[in-house]
């Protein structure tokens, strides 16, 4: 007995699109896909940071800490809206211990380097800064323990190595995340560095006190901080934690204040 021939089977479905599985299309109640929201959140974060920079350096200088807190809250909300979480910010719970070890080690290394530089007459004047000539011991403690970690380090690291690095990295990878966030980190320092050539006595002989010298010194500061941003990003990548670049950032700033205060009083 011959068996009846079966009809043709169902047509195979399309192969799944890996990109679509990572970036699902918006549902019926959603206006934007995760891809769109990530792009929009990145643009919004840059706009927020422009206003924060102007506020801290031009409009409301004395409200810097409050502005920083509000900025961090807004940036965190943008990351959440884009579908991100603590890992995108470099603050996942399972990376905190590793990041803390990195941070402590970095602080130790910077401390040794700064101590050596402060003791050598050739490099001692690098710590001199007219903005801190009248700094008292109490003012120094406030800067090192409060204003630097909460007014500078937390805001800038959360913004550039947390929010921007995380959002751009999700869409374009580590290289783009490092390059763009570091470039913007350099631009962030344009306004704070406008009078650097006259405020840092060690730089005045090099750049002079003319407007042209001020512009060149400012450009050099932007370039330097942009390159520093690359180092910060690499620390974030290697440690998988925001705590590592935060440690380096705090050490270079806070220990610089301590070294400047110590060398001034040694004279």
Q: CA–CA separation, 264 vs 243, rounded Å?
A: 31
Closest CA to 224 of 189, 196, 194: 189
Q: What is the pLDDT of residues 28-85, one digit of tens each?
A: 556 767 788 999 999 999 999 999 999 999 998 888 889 999 999 999 999 999 999 9
Residue 93 is predicted with a pLDDT of: 94
> Are 161 and 90 contacting, i.e. CB atoms less than 8 angstroms apart?
yes
For residue 170, which of 16, 73, 33 has the smallest C-alpha distance?
33
Average pLDDT, integer, range 218-230? 93
Q: Model's pTM, two decimal places?
A: 0.81
3-state secondary structure of 250: helix
**Residue 246 to residue 85: CA distance in whole angstroms:** 19
pLDDT per position as a tens digit, 84-94: 999 999 999 99
């Amino acid at each position: 007995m011959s068996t009846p021939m079966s009809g043709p089977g169902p047509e195979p479905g399309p192969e799944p699109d890996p990109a679509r599985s990572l970036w699902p299309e918006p549902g019926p109640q959603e206006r934007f896909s995760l891809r769109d929201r990530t792009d929009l959140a990145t643009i919004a974060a840059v706009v927020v940071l422009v206003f924060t920079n102007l506020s801290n350096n031009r409009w409301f200088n004395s409200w810097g800490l409050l502005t920083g807190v509000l900025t961090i809250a807004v940036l965190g909300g943008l990351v959440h809206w884009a579908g991100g979480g603590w890992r995108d910010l470099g603050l996942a719970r399972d990376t905190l211990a590793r990041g803390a070890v990195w941070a402590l080690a970095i602080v130790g290394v910077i401390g040794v380097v700064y101590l050596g530089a402060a003791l050598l007459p050739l490099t001692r004047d690098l710590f001199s800064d007219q903005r801190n000539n009248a700094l008292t011991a109490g003012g120094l403690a406030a800067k090192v323990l409060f204003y630097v970690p909460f007014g500078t380090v937390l805001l800038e690291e959360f913004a550039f190595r947390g929010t921007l690095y995380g959002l751009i990295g999700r869409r374009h990878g580590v290289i783009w995340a490092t390059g763009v966030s570091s470039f913007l980190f350099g631009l962030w320092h344009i306004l704070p560095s406008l009078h650097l050539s006259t405020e840092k006595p060690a730089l005045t002989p090099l750049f002079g006190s003319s407007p042209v010298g001020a512009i060149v010194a400012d450009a050099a500061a932007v370039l330097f901080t942009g390159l520093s941003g690359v180092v910060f990003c690499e620390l974030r990548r290697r440690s998988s934690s925001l705590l590592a670049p935060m440690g380096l950032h705090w050490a270079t700033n806070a220990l610089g204040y301590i070294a400047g205060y110590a060398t001034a009083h040694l004279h």
